[in-house]
Structure 1
Amino acid sequence: MSTDVFVIAAAMIPFGKHRSSSYVGLAVPPLIDAMKGAGIEKSDVDAVYVGHSYGGMMTGQRICKEIGLGTVPTVNVDNACSSGATAIHEATTAIAEGLIDVAVVIGVEKLTQFGGGALPLSPEDREVKQGIIMPAVYAMRATRYLHDFEATSEDLALVSVKARRHGALNPFAQFRTEVTLDEVLNSRAVADPLTLLMCCPTGDGAAVVILVSERARHKLGATSAMRVAASVLHSGHVEEGFRDMTKPEITYDSARDAYAEAGIEPKDLDMIECHDAFSIAELVYYEALGLAEHGHAVDLLRDGRTTFGGDVVVNPSGGLLAKGHPVGASGVAQAAEAFWQLTGEAGARQIENARWALTHVTGGGTAGLDHGACTIHIFEAA
């Protein structure tokens, strides 16, 4: 990037079922909190980027008008689960290229509008027409992984146990109680081998981060900050026929490019917020992000190397499994967690001396694609 970009404030609301709230009602409180935290006025904002998937037309404008934030470009971003992270990528690119100095990024979603169950996918997709839903896709990934490698259903459950243990420390998490291995294994079956507690919950939420150029950071006197060391967005490529579901190539490729841009290696990371929509996802992403060789993710998990006190803390927020997954908000919430960790503001879940953080989110179930989008950010304490 030609100009350094910094995150100088973050805010969010607790994820959960906010049935009486609108998209505007969800997003306005963290928007106000983040702007106050950054010490910026409405007149300081050069652009607003809003990630959401189901909010309808002009969601961003409807939010901004409630606080009188107008005239500046407001861009609505829909990239499925990667919407919020893509909004951060767009803001980062604009600042790095010198087009703007201050950007507000909002991620927001209200999934209770669908009444529960799996999220609706595009009715035009040929696999959706045949009845495919995301839990089934990840169940197939899990079945293949357990068949090919030395992994068991207990390992899938261990991911959820770790997520809930981390989430219990996070006041913004949808689920804040720990669970046992037996509770996960014996919870209701969703799509074999996945049980209910191996699947992320649906819910509502919003998160906001403020991004600025180095010039704006100096002008604002922002001492609490993290630098965007890498911002990578990939779209999937079409590959018909056989595909190795245990090796998500879009994440492998995005991670390779992100590490190269940041100039670091996986071993340098102190924390990762990854897209653990289902427990099997965390295992395959250990490998895709370079933490383990293909087929050996369970070794990290069993040895406690991806929790507090280990090599790298994966999903200190509780991840999607515990924190929740209001899809448009998730990528921004990941960046918020990274900000709090790298600035020493994470409270009971603080990682000691955290310097490097990676956030990763994928989006979309589309026939012929591994995923529709993958966004990875690497942040450095500033």
Structure 2
Amino acid sequence: MSVAVAGVGTSHFGRQPERDLVALAWDAVREAFADAGVDGVDAVWVGTVFAPAGVAQRVLRAMGITGVPIITVENACASGTTAFVEAHEAVRTGRHGRVLALGLEQMSTAFAGAITPETTDPEGRAGLAMPAMYAMSAARYLHTGAATAEQLAAVSVKNHAHAVHNPRAQYSGTYTVDEVLASRMIADPLTLLQCCPTSDGAAAAVLTPATGARGEVVVRSAALRSGAPWNHRSPHVWGHDIVAATTRDALAGAGLDAAADVDVVEVHDAFTIGEIVTTEALGLVPPGDGGKAAAGGVTALGGAHPVNPSGGLLSRGHPLGATGLAQLAEITWQLRGRCGARQVEGARLGLVETMGGGVSVLDGNSCVVTVLEAR
């Protein structure tokens, strides 16, 4: 059975400690229901990482969604897209007729700064937080000449400029490469403007059987993988291989030859190096060309392969559980032609990649790659 994204919605993203998870979820679900023209669903999958136990039932109770199957999933930064994958499968197999996927997170009340490393992992005990993990990848790229510091900064310049046209984004603005490089150092060589902010937010999607209606946004494929063992023998930096493998699954499921066949892409750019590595792992650009593509406008609006027209995690924000569904909402709006000044002209095929990491020895916790199409 073909599955359609009948409706999407999000809250505003940003530091919002005064708004609880119920309020954030209400914004996203209310908009998604209105967009889909529904007032209820048969089941719900909720993605979150740090929300308290019972959060799914708590926020949905406030909206009158009770008595149906409600399942909470945690899959690091890919929690929201994991919820989407499971909701898609429930509709595709006919298990449920109308399903809500919801992602939510309130990071501002959970952490003062970077996410606290997990001390049961060797890397966590050593204090290796996520900025340091990505900084190691960036340092490797600089050392081998696969990217320059200016090319890393160009990703931030591009995505902040994209976010100027996204009223839901946490940050936007016009920066120069020099201004990005001059911002406060967080984890050498990554400066403040190369790191995603602490964010609160929610995002939602209603999935139903496709009707074949003109302009309907359908799911061409949805692929999910967990990380395989990764160590010094790997030829690529951390996170590359899981993205590449999941992308192969998604492209095969969508009947596409390459990621370059899609018109618009939202990727997991929690740090500037993340977008560079991901564009290469997706196959959008050749190995070693991710930085050149960002600096040369290839991945900017108007370029050959527009990446993160929403502003990405760097600028829209990164409330972990909500991020993947916010990416899916952006691609859905793009395929409907509703993105105003950030619209990718003529977009018919879109791809979302969300990657979560942080478990020692593994090349990431999880990765989801989804391909959407406007009929």
Smaller-chain TM-score bracket: over 0.9
Shift of 1:245: 4.6
Change (3 A) 1:303 1:176: closer
Matching of residue 253 in structure 1 with residue 245 in structure 2: yes
What are structure 2's unaligned runs of at least 5 residues? none
SS of the equivalent of 1:55 reads coil
Q: Which residue number in structure 2 is paired with residue 319 of structure 1?
A: 312
2:27 to 29, 33, 52: 29
Q: What are the equivalent positions in structure 2 for 1:55-94 lying under 5 Å apart?
A: 55-94=51-90
Matching of residue 167 in structure 1 with residue 163 in structure 2: yes
Equivalent residues of 1:53, 1:328 under 8 A apart? yes
Q: Deviations over 1:196-217 (max 9, x none)?
A: 0000101100111111112xx4
Shift of 1:334: 0.3
SS of the equivalent of 1:99 reads coil
What are structure 1's unaligned runs of at least 5 residues? none
Q: Which residue number in structure 2 is paired with residue 100 of structure 1?
A: 96
Equivalent residues of 1:8, 1:224 under 8 A apart? no
Q: Which residue number in structure 1 is paired with residue 143 of structure 2?
A: 147
1:225 to 199, 216, 230: 216
1:234 to 215, 225, 238: 225
Matching of residue 202 in structure 1 with residue 193 in structure 2: no
Q: What are the equivalent positions in structure 2 for 1:200-349 lying under 5 Å apart?
A: 200-214=196-210, 217=211, 225-246=216-237, 248-264=240-256, 265-349=258-342
Change (3 A) 1:150 1:73: closer
- Between the aligned partners of 1:10 and 1:245, the Cα distance in structure 2 is 35
- Between the aligned partners of 1:309 and 1:229, the Cα distance in structure 2 is 25
Equivalent residues of 1:144, 1:245 under 8 A apart? no
Q: Which residue number in structure 2 is paired with residue 7 of structure 1?
A: 5
- Between the aligned partners of 2:250 and 2:153, the Cα distance in structure 1 is 30
SS of the equivalent of 2:63 reads coil
- Between the aligned partners of 2:237 and 2:307, the Cα distance in structure 1 is 19
Shift of 1:238: 2.0
Q: Which residue number in structure 1 is paired with residue 48 of structure 2?
A: 52
Task: Single out whichever of 21-30 and 112-121 deviates more from structure 2.
Answer: 112-121
Equivalent residues of 2:97, 2:208 under 8 A apart? yes
Equivalent residues of 2:44, 2:71 under 8 A apart? yes
Counterpart code for 2:216: A
Q: Which residue number in structure 2 is paired with residue 111 of structure 1?
A: 107
Q: Deviations over 1:205-251 (max 9, x none)?
A: 0111111112xx47xxx765311001000001123444345361100
- Between the aligned partners of 1:225 and 1:334, the Cα distance in structure 2 is 18
Shift of 1:7: 0.3
- Between the aligned partners of 1:155 and 1:257, the Cα distance in structure 2 is 29
SS of the equivalent of 1:76 reads strand
- Between the aligned partners of 1:172 and 1:250, the Cα distance in structure 2 is 30
Equivalent residues of 1:361, 1:375 under 8 A apart? yes
- Between the aligned partners of 2:116 and 2:178, the Cα distance in structure 1 is 31
Shift of 1:150: 4.3
Shift of 1:119: 0.9
Change (3 A) 1:49 1:223: farther
TM-score of the two chains, using structure 1 as the length reference: 0.95
Equivalent residues of 2:151, 2:292 under 8 A apart? no
Equivalent residues of 2:216, 2:374 under 8 A apart? yes
Q: Deviations over 1:279-322 (max 9, x none)?
A: 01111111100012211222322321111111121000000000
Q: Deviations over 1:17-61 (max 9, x none)?
A: 11111111211122112112211122xx11111111011112111
Q: Which residue number in structure 1 is paired with residue 14 of structure 2?
A: 16
Paired residues, number: 373
Matching of residue 350 in structure 1 with residue 343 in structure 2: yes
Equivalent residues of 2:205, 2:325 under 8 A apart? yes
- Between the aligned partners of 2:121 and 2:52, the Cα distance in structure 1 is 20
For the aligned residue pairs, the C-alpha RMSD in angstroms reads: 1.4
Change (3 A) 1:150 1:86: closer
Shift of 1:122: 2.4
Task: Single out whichever of 300-309 and 311-320 deviates more from structure 2.
Answer: 300-309
